[in-house]
């Protein structure tokens, strides 16, 4: 299980990378592994507002579908459209395949550091 040290994690298995005022969000290695082969991702639009803890899209694998909840509140300034045509990138490189970038972050859910998240995954 790959859990990079420099990232923060939500209990919905999203990772967040803060770069100044911007939060970059994706799903963790654990998440992609549990989902199995990802076949489709439902992305929000640039300019949409997201709220911490609320759903902003969903991911489909062959036999299941999973909501993605935003770990932060703010405005979506970029969406990784590449994933629409190549959702398998989420399986191959979960930390490279970012999903959305959020700016003007006003609040965030309780996030874990890598060690805490590793322990969290072990429990699950």
Partner 1 sequence: MGSYVPSAPGERKQMLDAIGLKSFRDLYKDVPKEMILKDGLNLPDGMSEVEARRAMTGMADQNTVFSTILRGAGAYDHVIPSIVSYSPAKEEFLTAYTPYQAEMSQGILQSIFEFQTEMCELTGMDVSNASVYDGATAAAESAAMCRDRKRTVTLISGCAHPDVIQTVRTYCYGTGHELRVVPCKDGRTDLAALKEMLTEDVASFYVQQPNFFGLFEDAEALGEAVHAAGALYVMGCNPIALGIMKTPRDCGADIAVGEAQPLGPPLGYGGPYLGYMTATAKLMRKLPGRIVGQTVDAKGDRAFVLALQAREQHIRREKASSNICSNEALCAFTAGLYLAVMGAKGLAEAATQSMSKAHYLAEELCKIPGVSMRFEGEFFHEFVTVMPRADEVLAALEANGILGGLPIEEGVLWCATEKVSKAQLDKAVSLVKEVLAK
Partner 2 sequence: MKLIFERSVPGRKCDILPACDVKTVSLPAGLARREAPTLPEMAEVDISRHYTELCKNVHGVNSGFYPLGSCTMKYNPRIDEEMASLPGFTGIHPLSPADSVRGCRAVLDTAQKYLCEIFGMADCTFQPAAGAHGEFTGVLLIKKYHESRGEAQKRTKIIVPDSAHGTNPATASMCGYTVVNVASAPDGCVDLEALKAVLGEDTAGLMLTNPNTVGIFDENILEITRLVHEAGGLCYYDGANLNAVMGIVRPGDMGFDCIHSNLHKTFATPHGGGGPGAGVVGCKDFLAPFLPKSALMDGKDALQVRSFAGTFLVVVKALTYILTLGKEGIPEAAENAVLNANYLMQKIKGTFKPAFDRICMHEFVLDLSDFKKETGVSALDVAKTLIDYGMHPPTMYFPLIVHEALMLEPTETENKENLDAAAEVFRKLYKLGFEDPEYMHAAPHHAQIARPDEVQASRNPVVRWAKA
Q: Is 62 in the site for partner 2 (CB under 8 A)?
A: yes
DSSP code at position 120: H
Q: Determine if residue 96 is left, alpha or beta; phi over 0 gives left, psi from -120 to 50 gives alpha, anything else beta.
A: alpha
Alpha-carbon distances of 84 from 39, 108, 120, rounded to whole Å: 9, 26, 30
Three-class secondary structure of residue 102 per DSSP? strand
Could you tell which of partner 1, partner 2, none binds residue 46, using a CB distance below 5 to 8 A set by kind? none
Which residue bears the tokens 């076949």?
39
Which region among 16-24, 25-33, 34-42, 104-112 touches partner 2 (by CB under 8 A)?
34-42
Kindly identify the residues of this chain, within the stretch 57-86, that bind partner 1 according to CB under 8 A: 60-65, 67
Q: Is 2 in the site for partner 1 (CB under 8 A)?
A: no
Q: Quick one: 39 or 114, whose CB is closer to partner 1? A: 39
Q: Quick one: 92 or 119, whose CB is closer to partner 2? A: 92
The residues pairing with 25 across neighbouring beta strands, listed in sequence order, are 16, 100
Q: Is 87 in the site for partner 2 (CB under 8 A)?
A: yes
How far apart (Å, rounded) are the C-alpha atoms in residues 24 and 8?
10
Contact set with partner 2 (CB under 8 A): 37, 39-40, 60, 62-63, 87-88
Contact set with partner 1 (CB under 8 A): 39-40, 42, 60-65, 67
């Amino acid at each position: 299980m790959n859990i990079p040290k420099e990232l923060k994690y939500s209990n919905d298995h999203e990772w967040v990378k803060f770069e100044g005022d911007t939060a970059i969000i994706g799903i963790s290695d654990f998440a992609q592994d549990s989902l199995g082969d990802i076949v489709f991702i439902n992305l929000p639009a640039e300019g949409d507002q997201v709220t911490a803890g609320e759903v902003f899209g969903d991911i489909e694998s062959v036999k299941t579908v999973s909501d993605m909840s935003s770990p932060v509140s703010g405005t979506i300034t970029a969406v990784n459209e590449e994933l629409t045509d190549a959702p398998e990138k989420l399986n191959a490189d979960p930390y490279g395949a970012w999903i959305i970038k959020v700016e003007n972050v006003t609040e965030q859910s309780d996030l874990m550091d890598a060690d805490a998240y590793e322990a969290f995954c072990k429990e699950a």
